[in-house]
Amino acid sequence: MTIEFKTPDEIEKQLHQVQIVAENVMRPESRMLDDSEHARPLNFVHMMWPQMREMERANLEASLRRARNGSDSDNGAKPKSDEPKKPRTANLSLVHMIEMLSWGDAGVYLCIPSSALAGAAIQAVGTPEQKERFLRRFTEGEPKWGAMAMTEPQAGSDTSNIQTSAVFDEETNEWVLNGQKIFCTGGKLAYAESDGLIVVWATVDKSAGRAGMKPFVVEAGTPGLKIVKVEDKLGIRASDTASFVLDNCRVPADNLLGESGAKSGGETKGFKGAMRTFDATRPIVAASAIGIGRAAFEFARDTLAKQGVRMDYESPRWKLTTVQADLLDMEIQLCQAWLLTVKATAMLDSGDDNKLMASMCKVKAGKAVTVITQKAVELLGPLGYSTQTLAEKWMRDAKINDIYEGTGQINTLIVAREILGYTRKELK
């Protein structure tokens, strides 16, 4: 088996364009947008929307073709036995793009107009009809956003304790949602736009724990959905993090994602659907972490090189200075995290079960970016700690990658269970 480490040519071309945006649009506004939390990065949004709109369209069409033809091939036709199957690279292309955009500015990247986590959930568990109805809007018109609301005040990592309820009203053929959601990334953007939508996870049976969880699409402007707070945060300050209240919020029966919009929701993919969503999005979070880490590493490396401290790849480790050894360790951490992320993403593109690798790359990248950015500030001394450079900002931006999409501790548990063969009950 041959392992090819070269980035595909089509991704290289895309990365060149994204790098121009990162260097000339994101970086120049990085400090200003960090200081003016919740200001919308309009230049970035309008520059990225045409590309994201096309990407959303391609992903939707490919998904619908596969559903219609029952085939994994891009055009629905089964390849001849002597024809090599062209590998899918949609997710690989995405993680490369996100790594570069996060190198530019992670908070600004999170404002990118797209279906985001909502789209990932719809792609993971939605029917073809639901994908067409909800995701088609992201392929046309003006910029719009999607978001996902899962976390609650009493239910962070413990998703079995979700209290937001969904009760079916037979007379109106609607689901009635009541509860509170917090820490919804991009929630304000999705809430404010007329075509935005939020996937809300609620329980149809509290006594069933995780088995009672179901995903519902709540469209922007739906009565009963109210934004009550936008967080002031340590990092990723250009991105909004919102809290919602759902007060008798009514959604049509077929806004319940899955095979059935029936009264019980019994046939839909609840907790397992959430986990499938995270298997697709955790490599994306890892890529974002790596982009931040690379920004901090490269800045520290280049700044110290101007002072005469250069990377040394030739000398044995015992001959290196402490600073040279630290820089080498930072680069090693980046490379390890990136290889895990690429593997998890390649498995996703090929249709393989990537649960273990998705959590593994998320754990590694979350830890690596925390260590790398802190070390960059340390090596740069007063310059790193001051606001003269972006080093202290990268350190603040870094930590969220070890927290959202499943904390480092939770993902470590998932990795351990997968490797050792333990159930959730056996290893907590």
Per the DSSP assignment, residues forming a β-bridge with 24 are none
What tokens appear for 190 in the block? 């999705």
Rounded distance between C-alpha atoms, residue 151 and residue 177, angstroms = 15
* Dmax (CA) of the chain: 78
Contact 95, 75 (CB under 8 A): no
Say how many CA atoms lie within 13 Å of 391 toward its Cβ. 25
The radius of gyration of the chain from alpha carbons, rounded to an integer in Å, stands at: 22
Angle at 318 between CA 301 and CA 304, to 5 degrees: 15
Alpha-helix runs per DSSP H in 320-381: 322-349, 355-380
| DSSP H helix total and E strand total for the chain | 13, 7
Dihedral (Cα; 110, 115, 117, 123), 10-degree rounding: -150
Per the DSSP assignment, residues forming a β-bridge with 126 are none
What tokens appear for 392 in the block? 């202290």
Rounded distance between C-alpha atoms, residue 119 and residue 324, angstroms = 43
Pairing of strands 146-149, 197-203: parallel
Per the DSSP assignment, residues forming a β-bridge with 271 are none
Contact 371, 213 (CB under 8 A): no
Give me the DSSP letters along 15-70: HHHHHHHIIIIIHHHHHHHHHSTT---HHHHHHHHHHHHHHHHHHHHHHHHHHHHT
Rounded distance between C-alpha atoms, residue 267 and residue 125, angstroms = 11
Give yes or no: 405 in active site.
yes
Which of 99, 219, 405, 426 is catalytic? The answer is 405
Rounded distance between C-alpha atoms, residue 256 and residue 372, angstroms = 42
Contacts of the segment 219-226: beta carbons below 8 A, 24+ positions apart: 219/251, 219/255, 220/190, 220/191, 220/192, 220/193, 220/194, 220/195, 220/196, 221/194, 222/249, 222/250, 222/251, 223/249, 223/250, 224/177, 224/248, 224/249, 224/250, 225/191, 225/198, 225/249
Alpha-helix runs per DSSP H in 197-312: 271-306
Rounded distance between C-alpha atoms, residue 370 and residue 166, angstroms = 38
Q: Which positions are annotated as active-site residues?
A: 405
